[in-house]
Amino acid sequence: MEKETVNFYEKLEMKGVSRRGFMKYCTFLTAAMGLSAAYVPKVAEVFAAPAQRPPVIWLHFAECTGCSEALLRSAYPYPDDLVFEILSVEYHETIMAAAGTQAEENLQEALKKYNGKFICVVEGAVATAFDGAYGRIGGRTFLEIAKDVCPKAAAVVCIGTCSSFGGVQAAKPNPGGYKGVGDALGMKTVNIPGCPPNPVNFVGTVVNYLLFGKLPTLDNLGRPLFAYGKTIHDQCPRRSHFENEEFVTQFGSEEAAMGYCLYKVGCRGPETYNNCPIAKFNDGTSWPVEAGHPCLGCSEPDFWDKMTPFYQEL
Ligand code: SF4
Ligand code: SF4
């Protein structure tokens, strides 16, 4: 165990991540998961000396691969490396070397070997109209692949709004009958919506599973409460400008202070559950509303239909 821990930190150092930087990330992740600071060493241990590395089969259906990109391109402290420390990714079309027939064989072998034991991560919506004819990989429809793989998994985790709720593919008129995985198969899934979702919400879900041996508590839409338990509006710093007397005085009136809020230019923060104001993006640099762009409601079901036209007051 000690040797593995040393190797882990050595590996991080080779990538330019100090032990201090890693612990900082673990502190951030622990807080994002809604756990007390006492859990920080345990969270660090999950990465540094994992007791188990569950096998993962990662499927891609109708999507832009932005969710994988958001996870893989995060710069610091390399959450992608951390994810691969704790997961054994057996199949992932974007990053695996195999292609064509060999890739299909790899998938079938992994299914046989890890039947009932693997985590299935799904990115992208499933076409259901015309027997799923609107989307195929290797001659099989997305629907056939989903029906083959998902029921064999110990848990199905939908990363992104497309696999969670259908996303842009399911926007009207939706000729392909695109749906989220849970709806398409009539099964319960863990949903990590967002366009893209914040990587910390996916990592937090996996770490919760490894730390406590179970999935995090979910809301009625299958979203982990630690990340999707509050609205954007409830956590938004721009609220302080019209709710805080000091700011109101500074702006001259409540109405003027209200101008700092993006509600009138179409912010969907009051109707959107997500932790963007706390988790932020680009390594905690900023998030859309902080950067001056209204929230579009990307983590809500049917957001392309319900939240549009964008940039108009609700
Ligand atoms: S900017 Fe959006 S989320 Fe922030 S206070 Fe205004 S309406 Fe709420
Ligand atoms: S601010 Fe709103 S639209 Fe932007 S990423 Fe967060 S939930 Fe999605």
Write the CATH number for 265.
4.10.480.10
Same domain? For 273 and 149 the reply is no
Same domain? For 235 and 189 the reply is no
Chosen domain end from 179, 209, 227: 227
Same domain? For 167 and 261 the reply is no
Same domain? For 133 and 179 the reply is yes
Instruction: Verify whether ligand 2 is closer than 6 Å to residue 74 (CB atom).
Output: no
Say how many Å lie between the CA of residue 91 and the centre of ligand 1: 40
Is 121 within the bounds of a domain? yes
- The atom number, within ligand 1, closest to the CA of 295 reads 2
With H, G, I as helix, E, B as strand and everything else as coil, classify residue 54: coil
Is 64 within the bounds of a domain? yes
Say how many Å lie between the CA of residue 284 and the centre of ligand 1: 19
**Residue 269 pLDDT:** 97
Is 197 within the bounds of a domain? yes
Say how many Å lie between the CA of residue 50 and the centre of ligand 2: 32
Closest-approaching ligand to the CA atom of 299: 2
Is 160 within the bounds of a domain? yes
Does 212 have pLDDT greater than 50? yes
Same domain? For 178 and 250 the reply is no
**Residue 25 pLDDT:** 86
Does 75 have pLDDT greater than 70? no
Is 10 within the bounds of a domain? no
Closest-approaching ligand to the CA atom of 274: 2
Chosen domain end from 202, 227, 252: 227
In terms of phi and psi (left: phi > 0; alpha: psi -120 to 50; beta: otherwise), the region of 160 is left
pLDDT mean over 297-313: 95
Same domain? For 291 and 155 the reply is no
Q: Whole-angstrom Cα distance, residue 296 to residue 281?
A: 15
Q: Whole-angstrom Cα distance, residue 222 to residue 158?
A: 10
Q: Whole-angstrom Cα distance, residue 210 to residue 281?
A: 24
Contact at 8 Å (CB) between 217 and 223?
no
pLDDT mean over 194-215: 92
Query: Which structural domain, as residue segments, surrounds residue 187?
Result: 51-227
Distances (CA, A) of 264 to 116, 146, 247: 49, 41, 19
Share of the chain above pLDDT 70, in %: 91
Same domain? For 112 and 216 the reply is yes
Is 311 within the bounds of a domain? no
Instruction: Give the model's confidence band at 258: pLDDT under 50 very low, under 70 low, under 90 confident, else very high.
Output: low
Same domain? For 199 and 107 the reply is yes
* Closest to 146 measured CA to CA, from 197, 184, 106: 184
Contact at 8 Å (CB) between 224 and 198?
no
Q: Is 253 exposed, middle or buried (0-12, 13-18, 19+ CB in 10 A)?
A: exposed
The pLDDT tens digits for 134-154 are 999 989 999 999 999 999 999
Instruction: Verify whether ligand 1 is closer than 6 Å to residue 146 (CB atom).
Output: no
Q: In this structure, what DSSP letter does residue 243 have?
A: H
- Residue from 165, 191, 238, 276 whose mutation best tests the ligand 2 pocket (most atoms within 8 A of CB): 276
As for how many domains the chain has, the answer is: 2
Does 48 have pLDDT greater than 80? yes
Instruction: Verify whether ligand 2 is closer than 6 Å to residue 276 (CB atom).
Output: yes
- Residue from 232, 233, 236, 314 whose mutation best tests the ligand 2 pocket (most atoms within 8 A of CB): 232
Same domain? For 58 and 83 the reply is yes
Give the position of tokens 């096998």. 55
Chosen domain end from 227, 243, 264: 227
pLDDT mean over 191-195: 97
Contact at 8 Å (CB) between 204 and 195?
no
Which of 26-35, 144-153, 240-249 is the least confident region? Answer: 240-249
The enclosing domain of 207 has a CATH number of 3.40.50.700
- Sequence-ordered list of residues with C-beta below 8 angstroms from that of 70, at least 6 positions apart, any chain: 196, 197, 198, 199
With H, G, I as helix, E, B as strand and everything else as coil, classify residue 122: strand
Does 1 have pLDDT greater than 90? no
